[in-house]
Amino acid sequence: MELCIICTREGNVSAAISQVLGKKVNTDKTTKGIPFLRGDDHCVSLSHKDSRMAVALSDRKVGVDIERIEDRDSHYRIAATYFGETVPDGDCIAFFRAWTRREAYGKLLGVGLTPQIMRLDLGADSLDTPEGRVYFVEKRVDEYMITTASYYPDGELILIGGRENEE
């Protein structure tokens, strides 16, 4: 499995992952709060917003973020102050693309959202790193944006409730 993105209602995440993998696994966290799977070697990343849960599974390190797309003036002030790339005022899709890339990349690195990650220019669909090229894969489900940061240029989206939006 290169990259699999699961979008589900919040609930039993282990059950959703087990369904996709075809075997029983349980999620757990390290002392630093980084999720991992008991009973499987796949890397996992988790994110939730409202009642939605996004799960990224991969055979290499992976990060995921999910956010509900909503337009607020404060978003553009955040972007103008902290982001390395330009986000046009009023373009909430561009803001959430930039925001979820930062969250997902910080999770891939295992460091979270740091000042250094906030200042990066993540406007391109990939980023060259010492560990290899990192790709940002975005999926829209209902009013949510899900972004993964991984070493694979695309991923299969598995929906358990909800519908994928065409861009």
At residue 127 the predicted structure's pLDDT band, cuts being 50, 70 and 90, is very high
- pLDDT, tens only, 74-93: 898 899 998 988 888 889 99
Give me the percent of the chain exceeding a pLDDT of 70: 94
**Within a domain: 76:** yes
Q: Which domain holds residue 26?
A: 3-160
Task: Give domain status of residue 81, yes or no.
Answer: yes
Residue 163's pLDDT is what? 62
Element (H, E) at 98: helix 92-109
User: pLDDT of 55-73, one tens digit each?
Assistant: 999 999 999 999 999 988 8
pLDDT (0 to 100) of residue 166: 63
Using CA atoms, how far residue 75 sits from 57, 99, 154, 155, in Å, is 29, 9, 27, 28
The model's pTM is: 0.90
Please report whether residue 89 resides in a domain: yes
Q: In CATH, what number is assigned to the domain containing residue 84? A: 3.90.470
Residue 23 lies in a domain: yes
| Residue 167 domain-assigned (yes or no) | no
Overall domain count for the chain? 1
SS3 (DSSP) at 66: strand
- Domain assignment present for 129: yes
Residue 165: inside a domain: no
What average pLDDT does the segment 135-140 reach? 94
* Cα separations in angstroms, 4 against 64, 79, 94, 95, 115: 11, 29, 24, 24, 29
- Of the listed ranges 6-20, 55-69, 89-103, 144-158, the least confidently predicted one is 6-20
pLDDT at 53 over 60: yes
Residues 109-125 have a mean pLDDT of 93
Structural domain includes residue 96:
yes
pLDDT at site 98: 95
